[in-house]
């Protein structure tokens, strides 16, 4: 019975996936040598032959033959009379190699060996699972909901491994039931009492990023890059994208024909509103896009304190802030600056659109000013000449001419 049990355990070990042969042989030999040390006090004169493919092993003991009255070390030596029972031709000084059968270990020793081997198998399975999922952090996994508790759900992957999806990492409108198929990203992997705990998330930005990779081939192929994602799960998300091919509109590619691509993602996220924004290194323009559809009149940047003041017409303010301040909060996270909203104190009627000066100011200069969020004459005049040069990359002389032309419009 001990032989059968040990062979079964050996087979379990052999069937472990992703374990290289040298490692398997090394662990098995280590277990057997541990047993030999307990039984004989030494293992240096034993050879262990392990056959991974057949799932069996052999243990051979090497001893030197001594005269019957000269035995001093019963572990490394054997008397001539005992040796000649094995082979009558043996003489003093010869080396005897004989096989040690498992039955000689005794029932308790075999049981201890089996338990030790089973323990090493369990440890290697845990380590294998830990390493596997540590390398998959941020990747999308699909599993089946196996059990639901108050604070978390137990999910099984396609190999039956247990994964945890905490309530805090579920979308607020998620309603999971046993047997449901659920998608999430590997969020965190840690060892607790030598047991791997794999935590999933549907709230992490990486989950939304993986969904875009599935729905938008240009992102998967690397033609379009997601620069940054900020979101309040189940409510709203802002995704900044950039294309490395100027022929491709990154926003249009992500949304798809009639919104076909984005709709699949929105459904997965329980109708979370997703704003896809064309990324730019120009902070003023990025803020303008992040707060869209609200239209900014002008901006003022405080680089030292990472703050931006944006000025809007009164009817645009609520749109920029959004319900519960959600829109402006996500916009701040996206651009990396704290955004402060101010009511524009100049009536629109008193201001003049930059397009009205097309006879006096070149179109490319007007475009450069619009690119920093200045659509009107007074929005330009509120910014110092030094800042205008810095933000637009226009020549100082050009900026002075523009300021002079715009100022004359308001002189009495």
Place of tokens 């062979």: 7
Query: Which of 38-47, 63-72, 230-239 is most confident?
Result: 230-239
Question: What is the per-residue pLDDT for 299?
Answer: 85
**Residue 235: count of CB within 10 angstroms of its CB:** 19
- 3-class SS at 115? helix
Higher pLDDT, 213 or 36: 213
Global pTM reads 0.66
CATH assignment of 217-279? 3.30.300.20
The answer to whether the CB of 238 falls within 8 A of the CB of 331 is yes
Give residue 355's pLDDT band: very low, low, confident or very high (50, 70, 90).
confident
Interatomic CA distance for residues 197 and 114, integer angstroms: 27
Higher pLDDT, 396 or 382: 396
Specify the CATH number for 2-132; select among 3.30.1490, 3.40.1000, 3.30.1480, 3.30.390: 3.30.1480
Interatomic CA distance for residues 148 and 246, integer angstroms: 48
Interatomic CA distance for residues 71 and 52, integer angstroms: 37
The answer to whether the CB of 61 falls within 8 A of the CB of 45 is yes
Give residue 4's pLDDT band: very low, low, confident or very high (50, 70, 90).
very low
- For the chain, the distance separating the N- and C-terminal CA atoms, rounded to the nearest angstrom, is 110
Question: What is the per-residue pLDDT for 217?
Answer: 93
Residues present in the chain in total = 412
What are the pLDDT digits (tens) for 220-258? 999 999 999 999 999 999 999 999 888 899 999 999 888
Question: What is the per-residue pLDDT for 147?
Answer: 94
Higher pLDDT, 10 or 383: 383
Share of the chain above pLDDT 90, in %: 37
Of 15-19, 165-169, 264-268, 390-394, where does mean pLDDT reach its minimum? Answer: 15-19
Share of the chain above pLDDT 70, in %: 90
Higher pLDDT, 49 or 219: 219
Give residue 1's pLDDT band: very low, low, confident or very high (50, 70, 90).
very low
The secondary structure element, H or E, covering residue 37 is helix 21-40
CATH assignment of 348-409? 1.10.150.20
The answer to whether the CB of 392 falls within 8 A of the CB of 285 is no
DSSP state of 105: G
Mean pLDDT of 35-62: 78
What are the pLDDT digits (tens) for 75-86? 888 888 888 888
DSSP state of 15: T
81-to-88, 352, 380 alpha-carbon distances in Å: 9, 118, 111
Mean pLDDT of 299-303: 86
Name the H helices within 216-311: 217-220, 250-255, 260-268, 283-290
Question: What is the per-residue pLDDT for 348?
Answer: 47
CA quadruple 281, 282, 285, 290: dihedral, nearest 10: 40
Token pair for residue 239? 């995704």
Give the β-pairing of 338-343 and 307-312.
parallel
Place of tokens 């049981």: 111
Domain regions of the chain by residue span: 2-132, 138-203, 217-279, 348-409
**Per-chain mean pLDDT for the chain:** 85
Token pair for residue 347? 């009536």
- 3-class SS at 122? helix
347-to-17, 326, 352 alpha-carbon distances in Å: 72, 28, 10
Interatomic CA distance for residues 46 and 261, integer angstroms: 66
What is the largest distance, in Å, between two alpha-carbon atoms of the chain? Answer: 130
Across the beta sheet with 296-302, what order do the strands follow?
A: 296-302, 307-312, 338-343
What are the pLDDT digits (tens) for 314-347? 888 888 888 888 999 999 999 999 998 888 764 4
User: In the 3-class helix/strand/coil scheme, how is 147-178 assigned residue by residue?
Assistant: EECCCEEEEECCCCCEEEEEHHHCCCCCCCCC
What are the beta bridge partners of residue 193? Answer: none
Please give the full DSSP string across 186-212, using - where no structure is assigned: EEEEEEETTEEEEEEESSSHHHHHHHH
Give residue 10's pLDDT band: very low, low, confident or very high (50, 70, 90).
low
Residue 89 has φ and ψ, to the nearest 5°, of -85, -5
Residue 204 has φ and ψ, to the nearest 5°, of -65, 145
Query: Which of 206-210, 299-303, 312-316 is most confident?
Result: 206-210
What are the pLDDT digits (tens) for 121-168? 778 788 888 989 999 999 999 999 999 999 999 999 988 899 999 999
Interatomic CA distance for residues 379 and 284, integer angstroms: 13
Could you confirm whether domain 138-203 is CATH 2.40.50.140? yes
Closest CA to 76 of 95, 92, 57: 95
The secondary structure element, H or E, covering residue 121 is helix 107-134
Place of tokens 């931006």: 308
């Amino acid at each position: 019975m001990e032989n059968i049990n040990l062979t079964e355990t050996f087979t379990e070990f052999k069937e472990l996936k992703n374990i290289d042969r040298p490692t398997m042989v090394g662990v098995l030999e280590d277990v057997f040598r541990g047993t030999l040390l307990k039984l004989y006090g030494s293992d240096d004169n034993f050879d262990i032959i392990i056959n991974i493919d057949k799932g069996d092993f052999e243990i051979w003991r090497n001893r030197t033959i001594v005269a019957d009255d000269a035995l001093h070390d019963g572990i490394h030596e054997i008397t001539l009379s005992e040796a000649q029972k094995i082979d009558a031709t043996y003489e003093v000084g010869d080396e005897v190699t004989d096989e040690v059968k498992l039955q000689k270990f005794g029932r308790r020793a075999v049981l201890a060996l089996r338990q030790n081997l089973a323990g090493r198998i369990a440890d290697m399975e845990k380590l294998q699972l830990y390493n596997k999922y540590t390398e998959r952090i941020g990747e999308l996994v699909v599993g089946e909901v196996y059990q639901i508790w108050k604070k978390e759900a137990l999910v099984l992957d396609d190999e039956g491994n247990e994964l945890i999806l905490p309530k805090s990492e579920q979308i607020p409108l998620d309603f999971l039931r046993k047997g449901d198929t659920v998608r999430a990203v590997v969020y965190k992997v840690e060892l607790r009492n030598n047991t791997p705990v794999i935590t999933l998330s549907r709230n992490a930005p990486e989950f939304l990023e993986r969904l875009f990779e599935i729905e938008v081939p240009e992102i998967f192929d690397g033609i379009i890059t997601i620069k940054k994602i900020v979101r309040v799960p189940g409510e709203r998300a802002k995704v900044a994208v950039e294309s490395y091919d100027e022929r491709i509109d990154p926003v249009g590619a992500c949304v798809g024909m009639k919104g076909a691509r984005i709709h699949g993602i929105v459904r997965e996220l329980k109708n979370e509103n997703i704003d896809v924004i064309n990324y730019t290194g120009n902070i003023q323009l990025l803020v303008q896009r992040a707060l869209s559809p609200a239209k900014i009149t002008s901006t003022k940047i405080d680089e030292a304190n990472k703050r931006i003041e944006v000025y809007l017409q009164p009817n645009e303010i609520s749109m920029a802030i959004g319900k519960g301040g959600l829109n402006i909060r996500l916009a701040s996270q996206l651009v990396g600056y704290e955004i402060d909203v101010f009511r524009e104190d100049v009536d629109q009627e008193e201001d003049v659109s930059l397009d009205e000066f097309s006879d006096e100011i070149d179109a490319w200069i007007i475009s450069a000013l619009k690119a920093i969020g200045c659509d009107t004459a007074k929005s330009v005049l509120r910014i110092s000449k030094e800042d205008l040069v810095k933000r637009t990359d226009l020549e100082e002389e050009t900026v002075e001419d523009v300021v002079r032309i715009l100022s004359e419009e308001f002189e009495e």
